[in-house]
């Protein structure tokens, strides 16, 4: 039985079960005219958990809105599902039938919903699929799971949420939680054009299969790292839950204001969320890729806006750390992180950006410097743009780099119907054979905007080269003779990326 047929069989089985047992969870009648809607809801609910890899043991969590207002017709962000079918019938019914389990209840603070309810697949649901089908599911769910509005305006807020713990004075402790709200806006010729361009880009991405070429050990390390990052971020930003989901291939743009002057970067692609050390293992239709990066883009833009040229590396400052001085590259990256934080901050910062857990190179103590020294050295390195720090200028610059990103992608698409470009903010991933063309397009887009290139040595600075070839036979349970065609063909049916690519070729092309 094909994987696609297995999915349809499972959806049919679960939908029938929901109808047969509807009286057990609050409904007097079976679904009839709305049966296609119920099947669609079942497919979406199980798809979201079955394609999420967040730990070595298998599947991760998915999130669901339980607020009726989310399913209202009055918003442009409206889901295609109804509350009555999606939540009350499908979600609660599948929990009742023990195919899904609720892992974490959503939390509200006053009238605001701080984060969503999470659910996961139960062993009962997973037993309906064999191991090969579970590997292949991202292909069949690609484009099937909801993306919704592709031009979004989003505001980020912070709330002090009370805890059940108390301090030494008997006062309840609180913690800061970040949450986001989508904001309504009026469409214009500009937003319609951006939405049209995104449709073209997403349609092109849909013609190729994007995957990761990893050994079994590397795959385990990757999903473990992503799970650990999710765990670290949960308390501060609960809805920043980002497991590996290879079915997430559709892009959208997120702006920060209804005038569309800030933000605008592309989000939604799974390749943006994986640890950067694994980006060189991304494949497009089984072919290796390269990543090209605008080096020092934001500082160069700020200088060019004032008719000035930025000489040298913008992140090389006149400050020598008192510790780990031999790690010049690590210190440069730390300065770059601080520089960007100073651009993005809307008020003077009294401390550096918060370090990620387990990354001492992102702390002042690791380098033996103070925050005042860092700020002073960056200001002295950039006196001509010193007034841009601590003004929130970074969000305005994101609008500029996102427009450059769009221009580069569309220009590359016009070159050939075979070219797919995967954006990662101000960098781009392409099939390795298009490296030179991509570099020319990146420099061309910048020249059109500013009349100059971002770096004299762009050809050397921009390239992140391909590295390593994974040990494919690590996916095999037995020894593989690489000179034996039968062994190699059998191995191709075991390696996850090959299984998915072969399925994509038979179902899409």
CA distance linking residue 500 with residue 505, whole number of Å: 9
Alpha helices per DSSP H over 261-327:
297-305
CA distance linking residue 446 with residue 344, whole number of Å: 22
What would the DSSP string read from start to end of 92-119? HHHHHTTSEEEEE--EEETTEEEE-EEE
CA neighbours within 13 Å on the CB side: how many for 447? 10
Label each residue of 456-478 as H, E or C: CCHHHHCEECCCCCCCHHHHCCC
- Contact residues for 382 (Cβ-Cβ < 8 A; gap 6+): 299, 314
Taking alpha carbons only, the member of 317, 347, 304 closest to residue 446 is: 304
CA neighbours within 13 Å on the CB side: how many for 76? 13
- Pair 264, 398: CB distance under 8 Å: yes
Residue 90, token pair as written in the block = 């499908």
Q: What is the pTM of this model?
A: 0.89
Distance in angstroms between the alpha carbons of the first and the last residue of the chain: 20
CA distance linking residue 326 with residue 55, whole number of Å: 36
In tens digits, the chain (509 residues) has pLDDT values of 566 788 899 999 999 999 998 888 888 888 888 999 999 999 999 999 999 887 644 577 888 988 888 888 888 988 889 999 999 999 999 999 999 999 888 766 555 556 788 899 999 999 999 888 888 899 988 877 777 899 999 998 777 777 777 777 777 777 777 778 889 999 999 999 999 999 999 999 999 999 999 888 888 888 888 887 766 655 555 556 678 899 999 999 999 999 999 999 999 999 999 988 889 899 999 999 989 988 889 999 999 999 888 888 999 999 999 999 999 999 999 999 999 999 999 999 988 888 776 677 889 999 999 999 999 999 999 999 999 999 999 999 999 999 999 999 999 999 999 999 999 988 999 999 999 999 999 988 888 888 766 543 433 444 555 555 566 666 666 665 566 556 555 666 778 888 899 999 987 65
Domain range list for the chain = 315-381
- The dihedral formed by the CA atoms of 383, 384, 388 and 394, expressed in degrees to the nearest 10: -110
């Amino acid at each position: 039985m094909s994987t696609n047929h297995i999915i349809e069989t499972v959806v049919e089985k679960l939908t029938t079960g929901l109808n047969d047992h509807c009286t057990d969870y609050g409904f007097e009648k079976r679904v009839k005219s709305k049966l296609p809607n119920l099947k669609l809801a079942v497919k979406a609910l199980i798809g979201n958990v079955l394609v999420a890899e967040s730990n070595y043991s298998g599947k991760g969590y998915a999130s669901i809105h339980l607020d009726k207002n989310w399913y209202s017709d009055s918003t442009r962000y409206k889901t295609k599902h109804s509350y009555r079918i999606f939540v009350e019938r499908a979600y609660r019914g599948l929990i009742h039938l023990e195919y899904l389990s609720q892992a974490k209840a959503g939390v509200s603070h006053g009238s605001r919903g701080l984060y969503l309810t999470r659910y996961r697949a139960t062993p009962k649901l997973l037993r309906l699929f064999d191991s090969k089908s579970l590997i292949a599911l991202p292909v069949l769910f690609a484009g099937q799971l909801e993306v919704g509005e592709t031009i979004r305006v989003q505001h980020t807020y912070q709330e002090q949420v009370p805890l059940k713990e108390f301090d030494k004075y008997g006062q309840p402790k609180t913690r800061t939680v970040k949450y986001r709200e989508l904001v309504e806006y009026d469409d214009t010729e500009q937003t319609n054009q951006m939405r049209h361009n995104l449709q073209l880009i997403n349609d092109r991405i849909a013609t190729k299969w994007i995957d990761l070429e990893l050994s079994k050990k590397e795959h385990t390390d990757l999903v473990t790292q992503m799970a650990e990052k999710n765990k670290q971020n949960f308390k501060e930003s609960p809805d920043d839950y980002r497991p590996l989901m290879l079915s997430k291939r559709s892009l959208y743009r997120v702006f920060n204001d209804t005038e569309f002057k800030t933000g605008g970067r592309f989000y939604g692609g799974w390749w943006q969320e994986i640890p950067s050390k694994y980006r060189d293992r991304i494949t497009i239709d089984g072919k290796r890729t390269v990543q090209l990066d605008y080096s020092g883009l934001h500082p160069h833009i700020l200088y060019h806006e004032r008719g000035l040229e930025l000489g040298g590396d913008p992140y090389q400052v006149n400050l020598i750390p008192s510790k780990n001085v031999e790690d010049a590259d690590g210190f440069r990256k730390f300065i770059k992180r601080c520089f960007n934080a100073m651009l993005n901050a809307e008020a003077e910062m009294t401390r550096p950006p918060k370090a990620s857990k387990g990354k001492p190179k992102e702390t002042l103590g690791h380098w033996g410097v103070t925050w005042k020294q860092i700020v002073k050295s960056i200001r002295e390195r950039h006196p001509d743009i010193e007034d841009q720090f601590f003004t929130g200028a970074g969000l305005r610059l994101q609008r500029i780099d996102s427009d450059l990103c769009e221009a580069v992608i569309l220009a590359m698409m016009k070159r050939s119907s075979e070219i797919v470009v995967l954006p990662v903010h101000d960098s781009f991933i392409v099939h390795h054979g298009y490296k030179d063309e991509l570099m020319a397009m990146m420099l061309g887009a910048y020249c059109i905007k500013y009349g100059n290139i971002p770096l004299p040595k762009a050809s050397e600075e921009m390239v992140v080269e391909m590295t390593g070839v994974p040990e494919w036979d690590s996916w095999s349970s037995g020894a593989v003779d690489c000179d034996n065609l039968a062994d190699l063909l059998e191995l191709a049916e075991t390696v996850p990326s090959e299984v998915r690519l072969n399925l994509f070729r038979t179902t899409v092309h």
